[in-house]
Chain A
Amino acid sequence: MNVTRRRFLKICATGLGSSSVVALGFPVTKAQAEVRAFKLARSSETRNTCPYCSVSCGLIMHSLGDRAKNAESSIFHIEGDPDHPVNRGTLCPKGAGLVDFIHSPNRLKYPEYRAAGSDRWQRISWDEAFARVARWMKDDRDRNFLAKNAAGATVNRWLTTGFLAASASSNEAGYLTHKVIRNLGVLAFDNQARV
Chain B
Amino acid sequence: MSLQSLDITRRSATTTASPGQRQTTEVAKLIDVTKCIGCKACQVACMEWNDTRDDIGENHGVYDNPADLTANSWTVMRYAEVETDRGLEWLIRKDGCMHCAEPGCLKACPAPGAIVQYRNGIVDFQEGNCIGCGYCITGCPFNIPRLSKKDSKVYKCTLCSDRVAVGLEPACVKTCPTGAIVFGSKEDMIRHAEERIVDLKQRGYAKAGLYDPQGVGGTHVMYVLHHADRPEMYCGLPKDPAIGPLVGVWKGAAKPVASLALGMIAVGAFAHYVANGPNEVDEENEKEHKE
**Interface flags, B159-172, vs A, CB<8A=1, else 0:** 00111111000010
The reply on B97 being an interface residue by CB < 8 A is no
- Which residues of chain A are within 8 angstroms of B41 by Cβ–Cβ distance? 90-93, 95-96
Contact A13 B267 (CB under 8 A): yes
The reply on B88 being an interface residue by CB < 8 A is no
**Interface flags, A9-26, vs B, CB<8A=1, else 0:** 110111011101100111
Contact-residue bracket for chain A: 35 or more
CB nearest to B167 among chain A residues: A38
**Interface flags, B168-179, vs A, CB<8A=1, else 0:** 000100111101
CB nearest to A87 among chain B residues: B177
A98 to chain B, nearest CB (A): 9
The reply on A34 being an interface residue by CB < 8 A is yes
Q: Taking beta carbons and an 8 Å cutoff, which residues of A are in contact with B?
A: 5-6, 9-10, 12-14, 16-18, 20-21, 24-28, 30-39, 41, 77-80, 82, 87, 89-97, 99-100
Q: Taking beta carbons and an 8 Å cutoff, which residues of B are in contact with A?
A: 1-2, 4-6, 8, 11, 13-16, 18-19, 39-41, 43-45, 47-49, 112-113, 116, 118, 124, 126, 158, 161-166, 171, 174-177, 179, 256, 259-260, 263-264, 267-268, 270-271, 274-275
Known: A24-B15, A77-B49, A80-B174; 16 extra A-B contacts, CB below 8 A, are A6-B271, A21-B259, A26-B13, A26-B14, A26-B112, A28-B14, A32-B19, A34-B1, A35-B164, A38-B163, A38-B166, A41-B166, A92-B39, A94-B44, A96-B45, A99-B48
| 12 A-B interface contacts by CB (under 8 A) | A31-B5, A34-B126, A35-B165, A36-B158, A78-B48, A79-B175, A80-B174, A80-B175, A89-B174, A90-B41, A96-B45, A97-B48
